Structure 1
């Protein structure tokens, strides 16, 4: 063990340097309607692309409160800043809250409602900032309240919309807008929100946010890569749209839309920056390349332009084949292989071996800034990011009782090198090592550190080491997928007799999966250190 610890110390400073130097604030969501999924489930997903966003998976039990109680409102729930969340306000508490799963962007509750998040751009006039703003509702705080108070996706939208309008939407990712993808066992929704500007106050008589929501067609998939996807709104079509009362008014007031022009109101264009140096603009290449990559996978029979304007992509697309949970995992793991944006395909990696040209064994799609500068490799933002805190794919199934209604497949760090572990919506508590993490102190008692280290070790010798990782991961994930089918049957039987027993059963299973993965990943780390350290003869 002393030798292993010494090996860790060799690689750890490199890992920390890379993680702290790279940018965050960028996430990708893939949402699948029930008729577009292989098993009839409704799927959403999320990559929390911030190196140290809070990834401790904790269950926050529901409670009953006396009349007149208050609910605290916090800043820094995502833990982007290295301090605990700070209270910045309070609102009236409801009589009863539901149990939910807490991470940086809380993602599921006991009723199987699941929420993904991705930041989207908004125009300068709408921006507001902490602590100068009177608005107090960040998107992550709104997610907390939605999961505590809603049994369905539509209820969650109502909770988020009403609270944001009353108390003001406060951007927490820079000063940008937000999109959350909300699912239950029958529907998937795209919800987009913008703030009301720095001068807004609660007593102004105006709403503190403007928002719209559009239902994902049941037979389609929607990709949200840090851009507004909703265009025209039909508030009379209540089956497919929801919106704040005055969703057009800020655009009218700022001269972005003339209601007398005879032209339709396009939400996406009214509130998003179109061009410029802003990474959040609709013309941004780091948005275009993800749209191209993922739409090409959904419909490979269609000829997609890698450099097409983002607005040219349809809101939703019917995939050529129905998607499984594993298909969505594969999409999240993409480094844009086979596209013009794959950094591993750059000729700078080529080396001569006799009369032949081969790729260097150091070739990697996840190139650090220093290495890009050295090799003159242009940066392309991949779908999977090395500085991702966690990602998930949620699977909500109709006809299932609440404790087993949704299975959320959770993975730490880079989606490309993670292992997705099943967490049922009725799980009572997660394994201790999966809710333990200190960004400043490496620990063998934190599963998150196991995945951070493995991702870095693989990246040092990617061409060979990724095969070692897959040899460990694939049997685990395949085994979990088979086990879930059996666990479902037993849990359903128990749920009909005693829901409490069903919860204990699925809690035990989820924690066993966590423990098995944790042990496998530490062993993978020891094997990688032993196999690829610089004392080996070359």
Structure 2
């Protein structure tokens, strides 16, 4: 990076960093081991906090390929930039690929492997930029290859680690590192990945990435809010760690770690910016406020300091009570109520009404930038973002047939106002309206637009409209959860005789849930428009 920086003028480099900051949105993952959950499932989750990340849910069928076939490598798989994916390279194809579910950050395959994503900061010397960089493997492209080629979480990590080392890791969320929360029905893993700077080339015969992975203890939960969580690494403990061969040596070469010091090598500190103006530093409040919020939910009897340094938090925490899929949904929906960071309780919302002070009916926890400026409300980044493209909570279950191994509960837009819909890993198709979206054109035939509109309408009159939304959403989501035992039983019976029939049955169920949710949300939108419009004001 130092050599590359000398090739740029100071103003150009500064402009590049501004662009990087402008494109960084951030995401939140919560991942739990099987003994930390009420039903024994392994859970991961993800909030894709970029308004226009690709959220069109579709299956990409597995296939067989002739010897010598090549697989294309793309930039802009997330669709953060307009114009669609751009081919930037190719690698040898494998003989057989598995069916997987494609969105901006592909999240599940036919074998029930599920992956959550959250960007993490990395030091300036590691940063790598397109098009000058020779690295070609973005994290979303690595997810594609992992889901196409792996049956387990461990296999997925090995696939991604080897490809990143061979072809170079290319950051796609600004110039930062990445963390993936990778699960199957037995294990949950935290996989952290860094690039190695602008000067790397494939011809150098050196690894084009640095990475480590740590297993989540079965009875614990890990929260990853855009920061590195892994500290000490022990590759000799193969049950609980994996790492690239250079995971420590690169830091030694950069002068970031001295083995002669006698101090342990701390991965998190070696490669992350610690302080400063960098939003991705370990000291950033937008990271620590999410750590605080979710940890106090997991262990409410403990005294958590809302301003504690992020490095003071343990890698994993044993929840005081086992958590459910619904519990994780509520974590993702949090606007940090009952914390110092809840913008819904800012004093600016309270107005005089005679001798008392009351909260304005315009008050909302999701305050727009213009409203914050007007009312001088300080910004606190909540767990739940109004400009989230989609979110999910997945549950991978042991001792069930393959087509129903994992249920991924998917929701569009702001997690706080979304409705989560079950998608089984054996599903082979989704409704066209869930595969249709144009960011520049509102469309009544796009389910994503239904949720974008719903969130917008609720936010205009949050106190009253959110109650209306909850009254519709709660029974709908409950009806889905209530049907799962029945669907599991029938699908298992079908799978014993013919897995293809089980997949068809599960596909029909998922499509039914999606179509019902879509119809319900459009009806809710018309109700909100009819109820809360300025013709009814005084």
Give the TM-score category using the shorter length: over 0.9
Change (3 A) 1:276 1:308: same
1:225-240 mapped onto 2 (5 Å cutoff) = 225-240=225-240
Residue 127 of structure 2 is aligned to residue 117 of structure 1 = no
Residue 301 of structure 2 is aligned to residue 301 of structure 1 = yes
The residue number in structure 1 matching 2:253 is 253
1:132-531 mapped onto 2 (5 Å cutoff) = 132-531=132-531
Name the Cα RMSD after superposition. Answer: 0.9
Query: Normalization by structure 1: what TM-score?
Result: 0.96
The residue number in structure 1 matching 2:14 is none
Equivalent-residue separation in structure 1 for 2:83 and 2:537 (angstroms): 44
Deviation (angstroms), 1:312: 0.1
The residue number in structure 1 matching 2:16 is none
Q: Secondary structure at the match of 1:514?
A: helix
Greater shift after overlay, 138-147 or 351-360? Answer: 351-360
Equivalent-residue separation in structure 2 for 1:121 and 1:95 (angstroms): 36
Q: Could you tell me whether the CA contact under 8 Å between 2:108 and 2:147 is conserved in 1?
A: yes
Q: Secondary structure at the match of 1:303?
A: coil
Equivalent-residue separation in structure 2 for 1:368 and 1:246 (angstroms): 44
Equivalent-residue separation in structure 1 for 2:497 and 2:44 (angstroms): 30
Query: After superposition, what is the alpha-carbon deviation per residue over 1:41-69, rounded to whole angstroms, capped at 9, x for unaligned?
Result: 00000000000000000100000000000
Change (3 A) 1:357 1:288: same
Query: After superposition, what is the alpha-carbon deviation per residue over 1:451-470, rounded to whole angstroms, capped at 9, x for unaligned?
Result: 00000000000010000000
Equivalent-residue separation in structure 1 for 2:240 and 2:334 (angstroms): 31
Residue 536 of structure 2 is aligned to residue 533 of structure 1 = no
Equivalent-residue separation in structure 1 for 2:89 and 2:205 (angstroms): 19
Deviation (angstroms), 1:484: 1.1
Query: Normalization by structure 2: what TM-score?
Result: 0.96
Q: Could you tell me whether the CA contact under 8 Å between 1:24 and 1:49 is conserved in 2?
A: no
1:61-76 mapped onto 2 (5 Å cutoff) = 61-76=61-76
Aligned residues: 518
Equivalent-residue separation in structure 1 for 2:345 and 2:23 (angstroms): 23
Deviation (angstroms), 1:184: 0.1
Q: Secondary structure at the match of 2:536?
A: coil
Equivalent-residue separation in structure 2 for 1:500 and 1:309 (angstroms): 51
The residue number in structure 1 matching 2:13 is none
Q: Secondary structure at the match of 2:410?
A: strand
Change (3 A) 1:181 1:316: same
Deviation (angstroms), 1:351: 1.3
Q: Could you tell me whether the CA contact under 8 Å between 1:108 and 1:115 is conserved in 2?
A: yes
Q: Could you tell me whether the CA contact under 8 Å between 2:408 and 2:425 is conserved in 1?
A: yes
Q: Could you tell me whether the CA contact under 8 Å between 1:181 and 1:190 is conserved in 2?
A: yes
Equivalent-residue separation in structure 2 for 1:403 and 1:362 (angstroms): 46
Q: Secondary structure at the match of 1:326?
A: helix
The residue number in structure 2 matching 1:19 is none
Q: Could you tell me whether the CA contact under 8 Å between 1:211 and 1:247 is conserved in 2?
A: yes
Query: After superposition, what is the alpha-carbon deviation per residue over 1:5-42, rounded to whole angstroms, capped at 9, x for unaligned?
Result: xxxxxxxxxxxxxxxxx975200000010000010000
Deviation (angstroms), 1:402: 1.3
Equivalent-residue separation in structure 2 for 1:397 and 1:226 (angstroms): 27
The residue number in structure 2 matching 1:12 is none
Change (3 A) 1:295 1:501: same
Deviation (angstroms), 1:114: 0.0
The residue number in structure 2 matching 1:26 is 26
Deviation (angstroms), 1:537: 3.6
Q: Secondary structure at the match of 2:394?
A: strand
